[in-house]
Each structure stands twice: as structure tokens, then as C-alpha cells.
Structure 1
Amino acid sequence: MTRIISALTDVSDQYDALFVDLWGCVHDGRKALPDAVAALQAYRKTGGKVVLVTNSPRPRTGVEKQLQQFGVPEDAWDSIATSGDSARSAMFRGAVGEKVWFIGHPGERKFFEPLTLLEDPVDIETVALDQADGIVCTGPIDPMADPDVMRPEFEQAIARGLKLLCANPDIVVDRGEVREWCAGALAALYTKMGGESLYFGKPHGPIYDLARRRLAALDVEISDDRILAIGDGILTDVKGAIDEGIDSLFITGGLAAAETDTTHQPDEEKLTSYLTRESSSPTYAIGFLR
């Protein structure tokens, strides 16, 4: 049964490392959440390690810059694992071919910058749909548009047997008070229509393997039973943690704020009802990271 806690310190001494989601937990898409930042800073002062594990399609350096813009200080984390890095590695290994049709905001074209860490990476070229071997999706061009607007192009792609590489499995995010569609919504539609989508972020295994490598690079050996995953996505953060055998802290005041009636803390009955509907059982729950 999920235990509602009042602060991270209620359980943090049981864990040597945290895998922490960003959007909805550490920032709201515009600015840092002060209580969350303070909680992570305090945890690190006790010797704990913090790996930010995000479904952002950006490479790690891009997320670092974004964190600076949002006001998240560097002493709140140790390392970063992004869905973008995991997906880029797969792309440059040829997961969807050499010629790809790109779906995403023009500002996300850094996704295609050369990846020097791989031996003999594939030369990737972005082309029109009718010339493509596969699809790379970092997100919708218009995050406010219904994913169904992509149906005509997806029908063509599916007819040609193209695979879609999804750089961000999130379905939606809240930017401040505005809910936006993410790449995961397009990938879900593509799969529903009969296409094949490849995922590399939460809840899928590759990003957790990357997060563990980030931990190892900090010269620490930490077993899974000493890691706590924190996030507001029941189908991404919590499901991924459960699938990996990692304890989880569900932030109810993010994507599920309405369903759990969260202001400061979730309503216990509504939280139980929500978790039952989602067939999920996080280890802990809290209104907001603090």
C-alpha cells in the first residue's frame, strides 16, 4: 500500500541515490520550484547522489542550459540522464535508418548534432517523408494541436513500413497552467494506427540503464534497492521505477493534481481511487517534492 509522506526527509535516509524527474517536480516548465530545489540540496549535503532523469528530447547539455534559465542551481543535482541522449544513441546506431523524416520544433534540430561517443556512427540525413527510411519525433510542431492532425502523414508512413523513434515518451506536460502535447502522444497514435514506435525514455529500460551509468561515473556503487525514483507521471516515472525494481515517490501535485485533489497534500481517498484505476502502487506519495 502506498504511504503518504510529508517530506523527502521522512524516507531519504533509506536511499543513497535519487532518480528525479524534472518537469512537474523540480520545475514547472517556466521556473524552478523552490521547495523541491531545497529538498535536493539538503539531500546532497547528507552525501546522497541526485541524477535528474528526464524525458526531455534534448541532450544533457541542452537540459543543463534550460535548468540555468529556470533557476535550478547546480548544487541541487549531480548528473543528468535524458531521453534525448538515449534516443540519439539509438538513432546514430541506425535504429530507423540513415534518411529520416523529422517531426519536431525547429529549435530541437540539435538532436541531430554528431554524437562523438559512438564508434562508427551512422550518417543521419533529414529528408522529406517520401524519401525517408524512418521517422524521428522529438515532439509536435504545435504542442497545442490535437495529435490527430498527423493522421494523413502517418498513414503514408505506415504504408511504407517506417519505424518512428520517439525521443520523449511523455503524453502531456504542464507548462505553468497550460497543458501541452508531447512526442509520446504522436508515438501512441502512430502505434494505434498500426505503425511501430521505438521508445527510449521513461518508463522504458534504456533511460534507466543510462541513469545507472551516470551514477557509476560518479565513482559510487549503489544497488537498485538503495535508489528512489521521484516523479509525477504514473505511466512513466512510477511505472518505469516499478518495472526496474526501484522504489518510487509519486508527486501527486503534478499531472494528477486534479484526480488526487492535491493542494498541499493529496486527498487519501481520491489518491487510492486514482491508483486503483491506474493499477499502480508507488512506494510513497506526496503532494509536492519538499
Structure 2
Amino acid sequence: MSDVPVIQSLSEIAERYDALLCDAWGVIHDGVNLFPGAGEAMTRFRETRGPVVILTNAPRPSSIIPAQLDRLGLPRGAYDAVVTSGDATRAAIKAHLPEPALRIGPAMDDPLYEGLEIDFRPLEEAAFIICTGLNDEENEEPEAYRDLLGRAAERRLPMVCANPDIIVNWGGRMMWCAGAIGELYKDMGGEVIYGGKPHWPVYDLALKEIETKRGPTPRARILAVGDGLKTDILGANNHGFDALLIAGEGGVHEGDKDAAAVSAQLAKAGLKAAAVAGALQW
């Protein structure tokens, strides 16, 4: 096993690529703070190489994400488009309509449902589940849903999970995501349907955005940047993109950026990366 190259800046490898798929949470920001240098790196890539698509597992439509990024201070000139897990999930939700659904997730995810006319019902009356996160993300843990999910599994209700992420670093605090509920449901024998990373639907949407900006682009010429091994890096590996692993303190897999340590971590997970960096910098 050879060590994955450690780089200090995106510019060291940028000439290999014509487009960038850039994760948001853990790479660009931590939900509270914009990471220094990330906006400049994205802007410089756009100016010198090609389009930048922000590819996030946010369980909301992409249309609301730019305003959130504005508030964090990311310039609109740093990216060409945003594609979310929410975008990719809406098709899976539509496939189950007009059947009634059980909703799991906070009110802030309401934009996901706009225009879908979903009939939300209690578990006993639902035909499927839509999970966007924990109802109370600040105070609950996935185990609080075990009884509910057990009863849903007995009824064999499929679950549409709008965010495959298990956990995120929110301003220095780790918070559970919808993916944790989805994994628990799978462990109980439930069927879980995903649209976000590492699954194909969200990448299909992202490739269409790249094609709109610069025409058909070979996947080997697209770099996927992310901090999540089971989402960003696995998705890149599965779908033919090179991956840049961000292993800095703002991500999920934070800490040691030593080449041997990172290579061992990737090998243990059965994954590969073109390079690793402590942060997204130009």
C-alpha cells in the first residue's frame, strides 16, 4: 500500500481536472463559520480550470442553499451551481405518492416538501416514511427512535432518507443526521432509499450541471472534494471521480494528516483518494 499524497493547496493538482464537485459541510463551513481560504480556492479553480458544483447532502432543495452560504460569507462567484440530497430525494418521494407518509425531521426541512402535497399521517396510517433528520437535533439521539422504527419495520414501511450523512460537525459540536436514523432502520431490517452521496441520483444531477456549464466532461477529469469517507470518498470511488480528502479539524474525520495514517484509514475502509489536505486552500 502506497501512501496517499499530502498536498497543501488545490493548485498543486488543479491542472488534472476540468470541474470540481465540492462538499459543503466540513469542507467549506461548519454550519457556523466559513473556513478560511475555501472561497478563494473555489473561485480560483473556476477562473483557471472550470465549473464548481457544490454537492451537499443537505435535505433541502438547492434553491435555498445560496442564501445560507451568503450569510456565512461565501461569494456567489465561488461556485456555478448547488446540488443537494434534497433535490435527489424529491423524485423518490414522488414515486410513493399519493400514499400517506410518516414524517421524521425538524420543521426547518419544510422546503423539501413544497409543491408535493404530501399527506402526513401517524405511523399506524402511513404507507412509507420520509426522514430528513431527528425531530430535535440538539437534544435527541438516534436510539430515541428505536421503538418507532421497530414498529415501522414490522409493517415493512420503506423509508426515504433525505440525508445519508450520519453525523456532522456543527460549530465544533457533533450532531446526528438523518443517515443515523436510516442506518438504524436498515439494521432492524427496514428498507431505506437514498438519493444523496454516495448514491448515484445526486451525482447524476451534478453531472448535468457540469454539462450545462462546459459540455460533456469525462469523470476522470472531475475532482470530488469531501471530508466524509462513507459519503464523499465512497461516492467518488463508486462513480469514477478522483477524490480529495479534507482531513482537517472542521470535518468529520478530523485530525491526523500524516500520509501513512490517512492511507491506513482509507485502506481499512476499502477506499482510495488522489490526495489529502488539511483544508481546502488554493
Q: After TM superposition, is the score higher than 0.5?
A: yes
Q: Distance in 1 between matches of 2:156 and 2:95?
A: 19
- Alignment partner of 2:120 out of 119, 122, 126: 126
Structure 1 residue runs of 5 or longer lacking an equivalent are 116-122
2:271 — aligned with what? 280
Alpha-carbon distance, 1:219 to partner = 4.8
Q: Distance in 2 between matches of 1:68 and 1:149?
A: 34
- Alignment partner of 1:218 out of 213, 221, 228: 213
Residue 14 of structure 1 pairs with residue 11 of structure 2: no
1:26 — aligned with what? 28
TM-score (norm 1): 0.92
Q: Distance in 2 between matches of 1:58 and 1:248?
A: 25
- Alignment partner of 1:140 out of 122, 134, 145: 134
2:115 — aligned with what? 114
Matched position secondary structure for 2:33: coil
Q: Deviations over 1:167-196 (max 9, x none)?
A: 000000000110000000000000001111
2:103 — aligned with what? 102
Contact residue 19 and residue 50 of structure 2 kept, 8 A: yes
Q: Distance in 2 between matches of 1:142 and 1:28?
A: 19
Alpha-carbon distance, 1:213 to partner = 1.2
Q: Deviations over 1:29-85 (max 9, x none)?
A: 112113111111111111411000100001011211211111111000001110001
Q: Distance in 2 between matches of 1:99 and 1:65?
A: 32
Contact residue 97 and residue 133 of structure 1 kept, 8 A: no
Matched position secondary structure for 1:125: coil
Matches within 5 A, 1:1-290: 1=2, 2-94=4-96, 98-114=99-115, 123-144=117-138, 145-253=140-248, 254-258=251-255, 261=256, 266-290=257-281
Q: Which has the higher contact order (CA 8 A, sep 6+)?
A: 2
Alpha-carbon distance, 1:273 to partner = 2.6
**Which residue identity lines up with residue 133 of structure 1 in the other structure?**
A
Alpha-carbon distance, 1:97 to partner = 5.6
Structure 2 residue runs of 5 or longer lacking an equivalent are none
C-alpha RMSD of matched pairs (Å): 1.4
Would the alpha carbon gap of residues 188 and 97 (structure 1) be closer, same or farther in structure 2, given more than 3 Å must change? farther
Contact residue 41 and residue 76 of structure 1 kept, 8 A: yes
Alpha-carbon distance, 1:146 to partner = 2.0
Q: Distance in 2 between matches of 1:244 and 1:12?
A: 20
Moved more, 271-280 or 15-24: 271-280
Identity value in percent: 38
Matched position secondary structure for 1:217: helix
Q: Distance in 2 between matches of 1:136 and 1:10?
A: 42
Q: Deviations over 1:198-250 (max 9, x none)?
A: 01100011111111111122252211111000000011100000000111100
Matched position secondary structure for 1:174: strand
Q: Distance in 1 between matches of 2:128 and 2:190?
A: 11
Moved over 3 A (4+): none
TM-score (norm 2): 0.94
Q: Deviations over 1:239-278 (max 9, x none)?
A: 00000011110001121113xx2xxxx1223223322322
Aligned residue pairs total: 276
